[in-house]
Amino acid sequence: MAHTLVSATQTKDSQSNISGSDSLAAILKAPLRSLLLLRFILLNLFAFSLLGVAWSQGYIAKVVEADKSYLSVVIFAVFLVGLAIAARKIWQTNREIDAIHSPQGIRSALVSHLVSSMQGSNADTRANLSSSMRMRIAHRISVVRHLANTLVLLGLIGTVLGFIIALSGVNPETVSDINAVAPMVSTLINGMSTALYTTLIGSILNVWLMANYQILTGGTVQLIGSLQEAVERDA
């Protein structure tokens, strides 16, 4: 009788330990999902703080004044569009991950569609549907990467445009004329400023937007893993 009580007590303790470990895993897993949005906020707060320092020191105004083509303003506008899209995608991804791991069960429309598609399917069909799911999710964030690459291309266009402006003011026939040298030098400086500043702005904003894209990519990988687990569990 005593042996039976001891065995029952040990079984109960082991079950409580297992449930306790599961609860601990769930507690540890929940903050990791919210870190996706937190990393995005911290990264951009730090970057905008640096931008504010550059503005207070007059560097931003110097760039705008030096770039006569105003291509740097266009580059910054494209960056803001990419950042807004990245923010929306990160918020959407974070919401879908939370919906999958919610105590109420699956609430994501994407998962519900996959589960209904996989019901009664064989292993090959389910593998193909999972691959299609990964391609669709990866495709919806590709616009951020394309916009980041566009920033570099716009910077290179600004480089070419700046050299064209610089060389347009050079007239070999009037180089010996002292009065004509000053306007040529002024045009040359304006063109070189456009070339260098647009390249610099495009490169910096590309790094900034790609950092947000990497956060979005990490969240997408986590979402795909969670979707696969949910589909295999409920299909």
Name the token pair of 2: 């005593």
Render pLDDT for 35-72 as a digit per residue (tens, 0 to 9). Answer: 888 999 999 999 999 999 999 998 888 888 888 788 99
15 vs 23: CA distance, rounded Å:
12
119 vs 116: CA distance, rounded Å:
5
* Least confidently predicted of 101-105, 129-133, 209-213: 101-105
Statement: residue 187 has pLDDT above 70: yes
Query: What pLDDT score does 16 carry?
Result: 47
Taking the CA atoms of the chain, what radius of gyration do you get in angstroms?
28
203 vs 140: CA distance, rounded Å:
24
Contact 103, 22 (CB under 8 A): no
pLDDT band with cut points at 50, 70 and 90 for residue 106 = very low
Name the token pair of 122: 């064989």
The answer to the question of residue 103 being in a domain is: yes
> How many residues are given for the chain?
235
CA nearest neighbour of 80 among 208, 179, 169, 181: 208
Using a pLDDT cut of 90, give the percent of the chain over it.
30
The answer to the question of residue 12 being in a domain is: no
Q: Among 121-130, 150-159, 191-200, which range has the highest average pLDDT?
A: 150-159
Helix ranges, the chain (H): 2-56, 59-66, 71-100, 109-118, 123-140, 142-168, 178-234
The answer to the question of residue 89 being in a domain is: yes
Contact 39, 216 (CB under 8 A): no
Residue 218's Cβ-side half-sphere holds a number of Cα atoms within 13 Å equal to: 13
Return the residue matching tokens 């997408």.
220
12 vs 5: CA distance, rounded Å:
10
Query: What pLDDT score does 234 carry?
Result: 59
Count how many domains the chain has. 1
The answer to the question of residue 13 being in a domain is: no
The answer to the question of residue 200 being in a domain is: yes
Distances (CA, A) of 41 to 29, 46, 87: 20, 9, 9
Residue 162: give the domain boundaries. 33-234
3-state secondary structure of 70: coil
146 vs 86: CA distance, rounded Å:
12
The answer to the question of residue 168 being in a domain is: yes
The answer to the question of residue 3 being in a domain is: no
Query: What pLDDT score does 219 carry?
Result: 87
